[in-house]
Structure 1
Amino acid sequence: MSFPTALDALDVARWQFGITTVYHFILVPLTIGLSVMVAIMETMWLKTQKEHWLKATKFFGRLFLINFALGVATGIVQEFQFGMNWSEYSRMVGDIFGAPLAIEALLAFFMESTFLGLWIFGWGKLSPKLHATMIWLVAAGVNLSALWILGANSWMQHPVGATLNPATGRFELDGVGGFFQVVANPTLWLTFFHVVLSAWLLAGTFIAGLAIWWMVRAANSGEEGEKQARNIWRPVARFGLLIMFIGGIGTAISGDLQGKHLIAEQPMKMAAAESLCHTEKGAAFTVFSWGNCEGDNEPTKIIEIPYLLSFLATNDPTAEVKGVKDLQQEMVQAFNNNEAFKAQYGDASQYSFAPPANAVFWSFRLMIGLGLFSMLLAFAGLWLTRKGALPRQKWLSTLALISLPMPFLGASFGWIFTEIGRQPWVVVPNFATGADPVGDVFMMTQAGVSGSVSAGAMLASLIVFTLLYAALGVVWYWLMRRYALEGVSNKPTGEGQNHDLAFSY
């Protein structure tokens, strides 16, 4: 059976990896953020012995476990794709890319899963302090896992500590020092703090959204409900709102630092994200744009804010920012002077080194806009619950529900921007100068796809995985909704109670 020539193996492989990765990444920030928040809640209960912290720990701990389990299930497929659809990529960079992933699996994943089991089954069996230590170790493992995975991805965004072995034609770590350069990669640490802080924003929105919805509902349901709203949901909502505020400010600051870093490391990504075709001094920030900078094309722009792009990029409103067309010419010249590039890819002038313009431009703005939407709930919630007030406005509970998916979508669009923005590279050039061997370490996406897996086989697996992940998504939503609607019990749960039974699944 033959497939039409329009069915390109590279395009199908990219779609498959993109779909499965976004499905998986929807769950990841909640796991990262909620692990720390549940640990804080249990610690607050230990310190204060206030009943609402214990109830919140169990309520959100149950939701954390559902999310963690589905996150693991959807993440397993990623490793298989490296060895199948992207076997050429794995052959070329496996010596480097595999190292942080192996450490993540052997150290972080086993750490978080082991202590998570002790936390689940340790209620009423471990001492309260030891039990709280277990969830803190889970949180540490989750964040270590994120660190090592981002270490591998950050190396793809900005390779360091590597060299091209001419005998094997593969990239290898440049000794022990090369491994430590991978760990110390500034791209890694900027990305890690941005991901963690955005996960706090997401987890804070999740906690505050559910707590506010329950608070308003309980406050309008009679005397007993009002007592639950005031004694349980209001302090939990305030906690979530505070985390939202901290996470939101931290995300904005870390995002600004990361953007300035990208201007230096991946100027083409940022130029495309701003629809900037030509190098300009005092460049304007474009609010709406459609089109690309290829050939004689110019994108259609609506609403430009003078000098703002230059200020965001460099802190100088009159600074020069390079455009897509000028960067294209610079890269063609640079790669035509690079023997490693010419030997594998030929004349650089046949390639466009700009990412898909519309996808990058809009994913960048949706990432920011959806993240900012959560702050509406933070300001409204903090204002309406000030000075001991117990809000009953139903519009607030509606806003809380609407806010729940926004940071999930914002984080996903951020990941889409990060990955699509580095196209056509799977390993972005470092442009190291002098005798640094990392200057020859780069790989175009087209060179990473497997030559032995047909487009038809990739399409079949794409359909199967998409349907499977859709089914898992339905299961995730059903379980999260079911346990979120159960709420908490009004029955006291003192320290002497069998918490293992109270925390049953």
Structure 2
Amino acid sequence: MDALDVARWQFGVTTVYHFLFVPLTIGLSVLVAILQTLWHRTGNERYLKLTKFYGKLFLINFAMGVVTGIVQEFQFGMNWSDYSRFVGDIFGAPLAIEALVAFFLESTFIGLWIFGWDRLPKRAHLASIWAAAIGTNLSAYFILAANSFMQNPVGYRINPDTGRAELTDFLAVLTNKVALITFPHTLAGSFLVAGSLVVTVGLWHVMRNRGSADTGAYRFATKFGSWVVLVAATLVVITGDIQGKIMTQVQPMKMAAAEGLYTTESPASFSVLTVGSLDGSRELFAIKIPYLLSYLGTGDPNGTVHGINDLQAQYASQYGAGSYAPIIPVTYWSFRFMIAFGLAAAAIALLVLWSQRKGRTPTSRWLLRAGLVMPVLPLLANSFGWIFTEMGRQPWIVFGEMLTRDGVSRSVSLTEVLTSFTAFTLIYATLAVIEFKLLVRYARAGVPDLTPDPVIDDSHDDAERPLAFAY
């Protein structure tokens, strides 16, 4: 084990942990905005209760996401300084815009939304949560544009004197075809997570607090969340199909590794299960669906999909001696776990809708148990999706331009990386416990009571009153 191995583990752990909060924040911001819009248009009190209820869960998650996200940028200079030096001219531009425009947009208007319930006009207050949601989604786009450059470098040139990548076309970076499809795919995955949380909390209250005054609100939330999950799952499949075809074009080794395809095939079969040799050089046993991989990769059932061994020979000739295949079991199984967990969440949402047909109240304990684990499933799907995306690119940190081993900080010792890795892991473990307890505590509390407070002395000027935190 050396500093490179630990640096990779640290970045992987902190990235996956941070991304546990990101999809929920992205999706829930829009869903809360939709609920408040329903209240604004109908005046129905149940929508206001649900807005404040799920808005509280959104704010808890948003705060935790900000805290964990700060660490991500520190690591570029701390453990990956050679990478930062090489690609900083390009990577820094979308990240700077994300911080200066998108993040400030969402954070400013979230502040207005939190403290503006009794001070802002209703339309202005509604606009503030929509502005925050737009900022959150813009933030995702700029970050994905930066990441997409690592997958498919565009809009740059290599300076022969400095050996650095220099930005030549910022529009090309922002319109990278990988970014253009990764963004809607990520958004769909985010709504899958957010809808699942809405379903879980609503279903728990419907089944545990039958006959309460707020049962109608919880039933609506359960149905609303279930439809969000089903629509999001459909969009995940559609965008994932397009993403697979683009991946086959720009990173054929990743597609081959995802399928455990060792030799070039035309037509190529989709692997339901493949067992390879220990050194990952050949296939020993496989269960396959004919023609499906060719269609997924090229759009043509008879299309050619290049295999791992052929691509390895091609890359060795093009880039020099070395192994250019990722860890096959990781890419193969992370790809399948991503699909399986996402489909499982959609299946539970369908069962929840079926259980409430024609006004029925669900009673099955198994459904409740499935509902309680439901938010975990799309979170796992998102996490395995990112593991597949990043591990499938290996050994490249910037595909075709820089190997991961060349991007690590040369001046950082193994002891220093181990120290920071241990510290971050312990801190994140503590934050995970805090986040879980806060979400469970406020989810169990249910929707707020909107009974007006007792009349108090209102003789002082309204402008002199301190801002009141709405929650």
Name the TM-score class by shorter chain: over 0.9
Aligned to 1:68, which of 45, 52, 62?
62
In structure 2, the CA distance between the partners of 1:284 and 1:118, relative to structure 1 (3 Å rule), is same
| Letter paired with 2:182 | T
How many angstroms apart in 1 are the aligned matches of 2:69 and 2:276?
34
Superposition map of 1:146-185 within 5 A: 146-174=140-168, 178-185=169-176
Per-residue CA shift, 1:245-302, capped at 9, x if unaligned?
111111110001001110111000010010000001222222223446857x424434
CA contact (8 A) 1:370 1:409 kept: yes
How many angstroms apart in 2 are the aligned matches of 1:502 and 1:108?
26
Aligned to 1:245, which of 200, 212, 230?
230
Partner of 2:398: 427
Secondary structure of residue in 2 paired with 1:287: strand
Partner of 2:186: 195
Aligned to 1:323, which of 286, 307, 311?
307
CA contact (8 A) 2:115 2:468 kept: no
Partner of 1:438: none
How many angstroms apart in 2 are the aligned matches of 1:61 and 1:501?
18
Is residue 37 of structure 1 aligned with residue 31 of structure 2? yes
CA contact (8 A) 2:52 2:448 kept: no
How many angstroms apart in 2 are the aligned matches of 1:292 and 1:162?
39
| Letter paired with 1:259 | G
In structure 2, the CA distance between the partners of 1:502 and 1:243, relative to structure 1 (3 Å rule), is farther
The Cα shift of 1:332 comes to 1.8
Secondary structure of residue in 1 paired with 2:397: strand
CA contact (8 A) 1:360 1:421 kept: yes
Per-residue CA shift, 1:177-201, capped at 9, x if unaligned?
x111111111111000100111111
Out of 192-201 and 302-311, give the one that drifted further: 302-311
Partner of 1:101: 95
CA contact (8 A) 1:104 1:144 kept: yes
CA contact (8 A) 1:294 1:325 kept: no
Out of 308-317 and 268-277, give the one that drifted further: 308-317
Aligned to 1:216, which of 197, 207, 211?
207
CA contact (8 A) 2:258 2:335 kept: yes
Aligned to 1:451, which of 382, 386, 410?
410
Partner of 1:307: 291
The Cα shift of 1:462 comes to 0.7
Partner of 1:344: none
CA contact (8 A) 2:192 2:229 kept: yes
Partner of 2:270: 285
Partner of 1:413: 384
The Cα shift of 1:491 comes to 5.2
Secondary structure of residue in 1 paired with 2:263: coil
Is residue 476 of structure 1 aligned with residue 435 of structure 2? yes
CA contact (8 A) 1:292 1:357 kept: no
RMSD: 2.0
In structure 2, the CA distance between the partners of 1:125 and 1:298, relative to structure 1 (3 Å rule), is same
Out of 362-371 and 303-312, give the one that drifted further: 303-312
How many angstroms apart in 1 are the aligned matches of 2:127 and 2:171?
30
CA contact (8 A) 2:33 2:126 kept: yes
| Letter paired with 1:198 | G
In structure 2, the CA distance between the partners of 1:212 and 1:166, relative to structure 1 (3 Å rule), is same
The Cα shift of 1:151 comes to 0.8
How many angstroms apart in 1 are the aligned matches of 2:450 and 2:58?
23
Partner of 1:136: 130
The Cα shift of 1:393 comes to 2.9
How many angstroms apart in 2 are the aligned matches of 1:51 and 1:399?
30
Per-residue CA shift, 1:382-407, capped at 9, x if unaligned?
22222333333333222211212110
Secondary structure of residue in 2 paired with 1:123: coil
Secondary structure of residue in 1 paired with 2:302: coil
Per-residue CA shift, 1:323-350, capped at 9, x if unaligned?
0000111112223xxxxxxxxxxxx12x
The Cα shift of 1:381 comes to 1.6
Superposition map of 1:326-345 within 5 A: 326-335=310-319
How many angstroms apart in 2 are the aligned matches of 1:262 and 1:39?
34
Secondary structure of residue in 2 paired with 1:426: strand
How many angstroms apart in 2 are the aligned matches of 1:318 and 1:184?
30
The Cα shift of 1:376 comes to 1.3
Q: TM-score, normalised by structure 1?
A: 0.88
How many angstroms apart in 2 are the aligned matches of 1:284 and 1:65?
46
Aligned to 1:15, which of 9, 19, 23?
9
Secondary structure of residue in 2 paired with 1:320: coil
CA contact (8 A) 1:290 1:358 kept: no
- The alignment covers a number of residue pairs equal to 462
Where in structure 1 are there 5+ consecutive unaligned residues? Answer: 1-6, 336-347, 430-441
How many angstroms apart in 2 are the aligned matches of 1:52 and 1:192?
33
How many angstroms apart in 2 are the aligned matches of 1:502 and 1:214?
28
In structure 2, the CA distance between the partners of 1:278 and 1:52, relative to structure 1 (3 Å rule), is same
Partner of 2:22: 28
Secondary structure of residue in 1 paired with 2:157: strand
CA contact (8 A) 1:42 1:53 kept: yes
How many angstroms apart in 1 are the aligned matches of 2:406 and 2:118?
55
How many angstroms apart in 2 are the aligned matches of 1:38 and 1:501?
22
How many angstroms apart in 1 are the aligned matches of 2:203 and 2:467?
27
Secondary structure of residue in 2 paired with 1:276: coil
The Cα shift of 1:228 comes to 2.6
CA contact (8 A) 2:195 2:226 kept: yes
How many angstroms apart in 2 are the aligned matches of 1:290 and 1:462?
34
In structure 2, the CA distance between the partners of 1:294 and 1:396, relative to structure 1 (3 Å rule), is closer
Is residue 266 of structure 1 aligned with residue 251 of structure 2? yes
Per-residue CA shift, 1:416-452, capped at 9, x if unaligned?
10000100000012xxxxxxxxxxxx11111100110
